[in-house]
Structure 1
Amino acid sequence: SWRAGDERSSPEEATKARGVRSEEATLPGQQQEELRCALDLLSVGDAARPESENVGEESKGIQESPGAKSGPTAGEASRPGPGARAAEPAAEPTKAPFASREREPEPDFYCVKWITWKGERTPVITQSENGPCPLLAIMNILFLQWKVKLPPQKEVITSDELMAHLGDCILSIKPQEQSEGLQLNFQQNVNDTMMVLPKLSTGLDVNVRFTGVSDFEYTPECIVFDLLNVPLYHGWLVDPQSPDVVQAVGKLSYNQLVEKIITCKHSSDSNLVTEGLIAEQFLESTASQLTYHGLCELTAAVKEEELSVFFRNNHFSTMIKHKGHLYLLVTDQGFLQEEGVVWESLHTVDGDSCFCDTQFRLSPVLGKSAAAVASSRHTHSQVDQDYMVALSLQQEQGQGPSALSDLELARQLQQEEYQQQRPAPAWPGRAG
């Protein structure tokens, strides 16, 4: 089916582009099939040629858009980047017209995991790959808030269905202000949000600033979070106790900082060169995109029992704060059948964590399916084990101290463990 605005060429246009007369498109079945095979072979031959031989008249008319920059260097390309676009898939090469017409893209399917959330059976959307899908993060919040519901027998859902539910939810929002001007502004925001919705299943323009956990460079995509009243956070902050880094990074966004590093590297001013090196070292040393200062600020900024979206490493996660602790919703499809694995603690910057159930109790021994997925994870550090002990004691006592005190307790337990169990010296001739 051909839709208005479809980027693909119609069969007639594709035939003309190949230099084939329209009369040949009406050949008998056998000859038409032979012609189709010949065109496929021709497309393969074109793809095998060097780029210099494949430049046609159409490519000559393509110009670089205003403000476009040259591609990053190899070192810059390897650096994790939350700017420009959050891991949106690269455009695929143009395929043969018949192939593109016959093989329609398959819709994305997601498995539905049913959990008991605050006494009510609630769906959670899982994913098989750890991709940059803000659609799932937002929709899972709406499911946990019971603003969107699914039939109880629902086991699989498509991205189109999720998009339809999200669109209905947005259209059902009513403006809080009654003035005509604010209502017009609200309606414009709704229209802008509906235009942005298709990007939610691929990637969003997200560009963090290193000054605060809620600081992002404003883009049209941010309207989605504002309209749904869903907070968006990150934890990639500069430590204020590092004045050199604070001066080098300043109030720049990620994209601006990368541009500054490139400019400073080619500067004749030694001070600027030094600033560029300091900024580059900051990005490399915080490649996890979460700093200890950012984690502390994040814990302090998020409200108790608040559902939000956490952005890190080009991935969007559903986050909640419960009794002073931060948790991320587990959406890995490998835990689909594990009812006791719902939340994952966020208390370290190196990825170590522990799993909890819907009531934020530490999960028991994982089942076989979950263990197979979890086997690829790194072994939990001693800090993680101490944190689990501290969390268990807190749950047994029914207390909810602040997250910072729990971290301090974990570090204290780790230090005591280190003092009590110092490693024995290795025997001569043996590997340490």
Structure 2
Amino acid sequence: MSEEGIESSFKIKDIGDGARMLTQQENGPCPLLAIANILLLRGDISIKAEQSSISLESLIGLIGDFLLRRGVELSPSILHLLSVAQFGLDVNVKFDSVRGFEDAAPVHLFSACNIDLVHGWIPDLDLDLVSDLVSVSVSDLAIPADGPSGGSAALLDSKDSKDSPQRGIGGFAELVSYNHLMEALVDAEVAAIELSGMKDSAVADMDTSPVAEGKKPVTAESTSELEKHAALEKRMNLGAVAQQFLSSTSTQLTRTGLSQLSSSLQPNSLSVLFRNNHFSTLINHAQLGLFTLVTDEGFLTKKCIWESLSLDGDSMFVDAKFNAYVPTASDEAMETVNIDGVDVAEQERAWKAIVDGDVGGMRTPPAPLHNEDADLALAMQLQDEENQQQAAEQQRRQQQQQQQMQVSQQASPAATTRPSPAAPVKQKKESKEDCLLM
């Protein structure tokens, strides 16, 4: 890690059949890592077999060489994106499709690398977003039948028809992208303040106005006030709808999103999945479905390679051959991996979390392979034998100490009028849990 906490190099993991991947110490956004791993898995770039890690500068150089071979001009914009991709890239999700992103420079970097950038943040068709519409009291105004509509109607008029492919969240054209949601939330707070001020002003006017019989006639001024009320209502309710959607889809993955990813991505194709500001390497396995690459350095010496993409937290790990991965006591370190400098404590914590079946709420698959069962049984048998040997050794030492005490007492004078100069020796009671130095 560099002084700023940014990784200056990445450790390399061999995953079989000559394939290699990069891992990261901190599970950050790092789109550069996702891009590099796709290029490695596709064979577009390669790293020497004797290398156990690669520096950030060398990795950027490899990607730059690949772009040149593709005929991509290394413009200042592309070079800048490569240099900042280690920190993350600012992309704006659009909710109309899994490939929906605002057309901007960061998205062009993925296109230049011939990599599909996707997301699974698509509103479910049955998503029910109902905002508590703000009602404005205008009972003292005489509204003609063809006059301006109230706030609720104004809000409904902003909805696109259900047949429109460009409709946004809740059917509102103003809520098409993530940035629109953020703007709606801020705008709603401002509108609430303005609306509160208008109501206070209206109450003050009523207190100072003479009482008139019937309703006030509609004037240009009153019509303008009503339209302003309706516009403020609409802004507040758009904010409420935006907040409801963000709360109900906090994982940024939906059933519809998963379904569209599976159907729109080619079988066995690789892409980059953007989710919760994180860029992951995604594969659409022809038979098994969607999996993301496990890049956490804590799994560097484990054969866990892919994790299924799941909506309900019931994902599972698989190895490079997509066989169910179950950690066992014999899950040895991979011989071709140099683990110098690896945080062993961090690896052990990650290992324990997997064994306990508690990795971010994920479950390990329930069907271990036969040879893994045998390995686990053998490991448990060896551990049991070791425990028995330790217990026997502890008992032998206790008996030896007791025999020595008895011999010492028999060697002392049978009768004496003088107390022994040494205090009686008390044998310390050893706990069963004390460690034995063998």
Spell out the pairing of 1:171-182 with structure 2 (5 A cutoff).
Answer: 171-174=68-71
Residues 94 and 100 of structure 2 are in contact (CA less than 8 Å); yes or no, is this contact kept in structure 1? yes
**Structure 2 residue runs without a partner (length 5+):** 130-168, 196-229, 332-346, 370-438
Deviation at 1:372, TM superposition (A): 2.4
Residues 313 and 361 of structure 2 are in contact (CA less than 8 Å); yes or no, is this contact kept in structure 1? no
Residue type matched to 1:240 in 2?
A: L
The answer for the alignment partner of 1:135 in structure 2 is 32
Residue type matched to 1:217 in 2?
A: E
The answer for the alignment partner of 1:349 in structure 2 is 311
Identify the match of residue 165 of structure 1 among 59, 62, 79: 62
Deviation at 1:315, TM superposition (A): 0.8
Identify the match of residue 152 of structure 1 among 49, 53, 58: 49
Identify the match of residue 114 of structure 1 among 1, 5, 14: 14
Residue type matched to 2:110 in 1?
A: F
The answer for the alignment partner of 2:264 in structure 1 is 301
TM-score using structure 1 length: 0.57
Aligned partners of 2:305, 2:249: CA distance in 1, in Å?
28
The answer for the alignment partner of 1:230 in structure 2 is 115
Aligned partners of 2:6, 2:85: CA distance in 1, in Å?
17
What whole-Å deviation, never above 9, does each CA across 1:244-285 have from its counterpart, x for those lacking one?
442247552211221112213433433442332121111012
The answer for the alignment partner of 1:246 in structure 2 is 170
Cα gap change, 1:293 to 1:105, in 2 (>3 Å):
closer
Deviation at 1:297, TM superposition (A): 1.2
The answer for the alignment partner of 1:192 in structure 2 is 77
Asked if 1:336 corresponds to 2:236, the answer is: no
Residues 170 and 241 of structure 2 are in contact (CA less than 8 Å); yes or no, is this contact kept in structure 1? no
Spell out the pairing of 1:86-105 with structure 2 (5 A cutoff).
Answer: none
Name the SS for the 1:266 alignment partner: helix
The answer for the alignment partner of 1:372 in structure 2 is 352
Asked if 1:208 corresponds to 2:88, the answer is: no
Residues 284 and 291 of structure 2 are in contact (CA less than 8 Å); yes or no, is this contact kept in structure 1? yes
The answer for the alignment partner of 1:82 in structure 2 is none
The answer for the alignment partner of 1:286 in structure 2 is 249
Cα gap change, 1:344 to 1:273, in 2 (>3 Å):
same
Kindly indicate whether structure 1 or structure 2 has the higher relative contact order, using CA contacts under 8 Å at least 6 residues apart: 2
Residues 319 and 328 of structure 1 are in contact (CA less than 8 Å); yes or no, is this contact kept in structure 2? yes
Identify the match of residue 255 of structure 1 among 179, 189, 213: 179
Aligned partners of 1:377, 1:104: CA distance in 2, in Å?
28
Aligned partners of 2:49, 2:242: CA distance in 1, in Å?
51
Residues 148 and 169 of structure 1 are in contact (CA less than 8 Å); yes or no, is this contact kept in structure 2? yes
In the alignment of these two chains, the number of paired residues is 268
Name the SS for the 1:212 alignment partner: coil
What whole-Å deviation, never above 9, does each CA across 1:326-345 have from its counterpart, x for those lacking one?
01011011111112x11111
Deviation at 1:170, TM superposition (A): 0.8
Residues 184 and 238 of structure 2 are in contact (CA less than 8 Å); yes or no, is this contact kept in structure 1? no
Name the SS for the 1:319 alignment partner: strand
Aligned partners of 1:140, 1:193: CA distance in 2, in Å?
19
- How much identity, in percent, do the aligned residues show? 35
Aligned partners of 2:83, 2:252: CA distance in 1, in Å?
26
Deviation at 1:107, TM superposition (A): 6.1
Residue type matched to 1:164 in 2?
A: G
Residues 30 and 279 of structure 2 are in contact (CA less than 8 Å); yes or no, is this contact kept in structure 1? yes
Cα gap change, 1:259 to 1:113, in 2 (>3 Å):
same
TM-score using structure 2 length: 0.56
Deviation at 1:110, TM superposition (A): 1.5
Asked if 1:327 corresponds to 2:291, the answer is: yes
Cα gap change, 1:356 to 1:250, in 2 (>3 Å):
farther
Residues 192 and 223 of structure 1 are in contact (CA less than 8 Å); yes or no, is this contact kept in structure 2? no
Residues 170 and 190 of structure 1 are in contact (CA less than 8 Å); yes or no, is this contact kept in structure 2? no
